[in-house]
Amino acid sequence: MNLFKIYLSEIKKTIIKHRREINFNSEQDLNGIIVETPPEKFDFDFSSNAAMALSKSVKDNPRNIAEKIKNILEKKSKDFSQISIAGPGFLNFKLTNKAWIKIIQDISKIKKKFGSNKKNKKFNIEFVSANPTGPMHVGHCRGAIFGDVLSNLLKFNGNKVTKEFYVNDYGKQVDDFARSVFFRLREIKFHEDFPKEKNLYPGEYIVDIAKKILKNNKKINLGNFKKIDKILKKESIKCSMDLIKSDLKQLGIIHDNFFYESRLVNENLVDKTINKLKKNKFVEEGFLEPPKGESDPNWKKTKRLIFKSTLFGDDSDRALQKNDGSWTYFANDLAYHSTKVSKKYDHLINVLGADHTGYIKRISAAVSALSNNQIDLICKVCQLVKLYKNGNPYKMSKRLGEFISVNDLLQEVNRDAIRFMMLNRGNDVELDFDFDKVLEKSKENPVYYVQYSYARINSLFKAAKINLNTKINLDSTNFLPNIFDYKLLRKIVEWPKVVDLASTKSEPHRIPFYLYELATIFHSYWSKGNEETKFKFIIDGKIKNQLSFKIFQLVSIVLENAMRILAVSLPKKM
């Protein structure tokens, strides 16, 4: 029920049907027409740039074109009570009372589906994918919430979504992790000092993992690491993933699928993927120049397999083998993405950390090659989170190593605040997480401000002694919205558009932005009711204006739908 699309379609059809009157020829020019919310000063419901979009092809002044469109729509459209021309030729529209009542009734009927645009596509969203060498830290938190909310958003919008976690359980880091656990086991059992080696993991959480392994394997032989490295890696990874899954669960996140990198090795998937690309002549033997701007003393000119990623928009071709002939990390990633492509998703989305920006072009090229340009890979990079308290950078407990854990964060603030605030800015800019603000009970705390609007609506219905879901009937003879009623209605009908844009652009931060604006209008209305009798909601225990309460029901529908996407609670009382 996206009114902006509905009225855009009506305007376009009108122009096509009356093309001779307007002197319009090319339907391609219709692509530039939009319908949006006009500036508040105009006091209209919708606005369109149709006349300006057509002026070049029609070769006429936009205001003249606007006048023609206005005259046609006034005769043909039943929904517009007033159409005006503003500025260089903007068309502003005001809906009839009858149109507004139908809109209100339609929203009331569909309730939980209000805002959904029924896209019906198949998505795979890979997010978090933290190294399985310990619990999650704050750096993972933003991407985790971004990926989860984007998944919820796409599901709400009628799509099928698989939430995936890629487990890097293969390679040197896993060897170092298992060795760290081994030395902690010897520390516990034989009271040996933990070695001060550069690549080991010193965090106290390794002690917890070691204790857990020892509890389940009391007769484990700790004489030689190489003899138990396979079982120790398996047990250590399992313990670490249990920690990560626990952290995710505390944040309200559950993945559908965990793909283990070791599977690529065990099932020989890298060789199979490379051979497939060889057949298409996207992989060949050759030489690469040394990386620009980098000085690597171990680099040498070696003949190796190379992926021709420049054929798919990358800046340079990419090596698939290291100097010793083993596969590069990128080769493994090629194979992993080949498994995604084989599952026939319409869209792949990777949520990446701030340090992975330079990796986007090559992996996008890989997906293009593997899918014959049929599947687009969307990469969303989540920038860093900076923590503040009392105006200063905040450092919490580092018991778990050289990082601040998600568990640390959850000890300071609740899940609702974390989920909402991690989306309070676009993913492509750094985010300042201020503990003082998220603990305030004021307008400065966005999540509280939005939740409080819902609590206030519930308190109003309680004071009026009616249920929030009670049916409230309206008729056009008594449809008299005041300025705040109109503001709320106009903001409410923006919701499907917000959902559509947030889904299409993979920008879930648009939802908390929108909610804050909606809550601001409602709280302003509430404050005005305390100041002026004509804006009061209840007088002598009775509802003053049925329409206002009906609109509050719509606000509650939007709040419930939006906060369900964010997976943030909506208390009825605060």
Last residue of a domain, which of 80, 95, 110? 95
Residue at 245 is within a domain: no
Residue at 27 is within a domain: yes
Q: In the chain, helix, strand, coil percent, each to 5?
A: 55, 15, 35
| pLDDT tens per residue across span 66-125 | 999 999 999 988 999 999 999 999 999 999 999 999 999 999 999 999 999 877 899 999
Helix (H/G/I), strand (E/B), else coil: 539: strand
Q: Considering only residues 57 and 381, tell me which one the structure prediction assigns the higher pLDDT.
A: 381
Residue at 473 is within a domain: yes
Tally the domains of the chain: 2
**What does residue 47 show for φ and ψ, rounded to 5 degrees?**
-140, 150
| pLDDT tens per residue across span 190-201 | 999 999 888 898
| pLDDT tens per residue across span 136-148 | 888 889 999 999 9
Residue 397: which pLDDT band, with cuts at 50, 70 and 90? very low
Q: What one-character-per-residue DSSP string does 476-515 give?
A: GGG----HHHHHHHHHHTTHHHHHHHHHHTT-TTHHHHHH
Domain of 492, CATH number, reads 1.10.730.10
Averaged pLDDT, 478-488: 93
Inform me whether the pLDDT recorded for 401 exceeds 60.
Answer: no
Rounded to the nearest 10 degrees, how much is the dihedral formed by the CA atoms of 8, 14, 20, 25?
30
Residue at 88 is within a domain: yes
- Classify residue 361 as left (phi > 0), alpha (psi -120 to 50) or beta: alpha
Domain of 79, CATH number, reads 3.30.1360.70
Residue at 297 is within a domain: no
Residue at 64 is within a domain: yes
Residue at 219 is within a domain: no
| pLDDT tens per residue across span 431-440 | 888 888 888 8
Residue at 495 is within a domain: yes
Per the structure, the complete domain to which residue 48 belongs is given by: 3-95
Inform me whether the pLDDT recorded for 296 exceeds 70.
Answer: no
Cβ proximity of 326 and 274 under 8 Å: no
Inform me whether the pLDDT recorded for 477 exceeds 60.
Answer: yes
Last residue of a domain, which of 95, 129, 148? 95
Averaged pLDDT, 387-406: 70
User: Residue 84 pairs with which residues in a beta bridge?
Assistant: 92
pLDDT for position 399: 41
Q: Is 266 exposed, middle or buried (0-12, 13-18, 19+ CB in 10 A)?
A: exposed
Q: Which residue's entry shows tokens 């068309």?
A: 91
Q: What is the largest CA-CA distance in the chain?
A: 93
Cβ proximity of 307 and 282 under 8 Å: yes
Q: Which residue's entry shows tokens 């974390």?
A: 418
Averaged pLDDT, 499-526: 96
Averaged pLDDT, 237-249: 95
Last residue of a domain, which of 95, 113, 138? 95
Helix (H/G/I), strand (E/B), else coil: 316: coil
The distance in angstroms from the start CA to the end CA of the chain is 32
Residue 292: which pLDDT band, with cuts at 50, 70 and 90? low
Share of the chain above pLDDT 90, in %: 70
Averaged pLDDT, 398-414: 74
Helix (H/G/I), strand (E/B), else coil: 106: helix
Dist CA 302 CA 288 (whole Å): 8
Residue 297: which pLDDT band, with cuts at 50, 70 and 90? low
Give the predicted TM-score (pTM) of the model: 0.91
| pLDDT tens per residue across span 456-472 | 999 999 999 999 999 99
Question: What tokens does 459 get?
Answer: 């308190």
pLDDT for position 293: 59
pLDDT for position 295: 62
pLDDT for position 111: 93
Inform me whether the pLDDT recorded for 395 exceeds 80.
Answer: no
User: What's the whole-number average pLDDT of the chain?
Assistant: 91
Residue 299: which pLDDT band, with cuts at 50, 70 and 90? low
Residue 59: which pLDDT band, with cuts at 50, 70 and 90? confident
Helix (H/G/I), strand (E/B), else coil: 201: coil
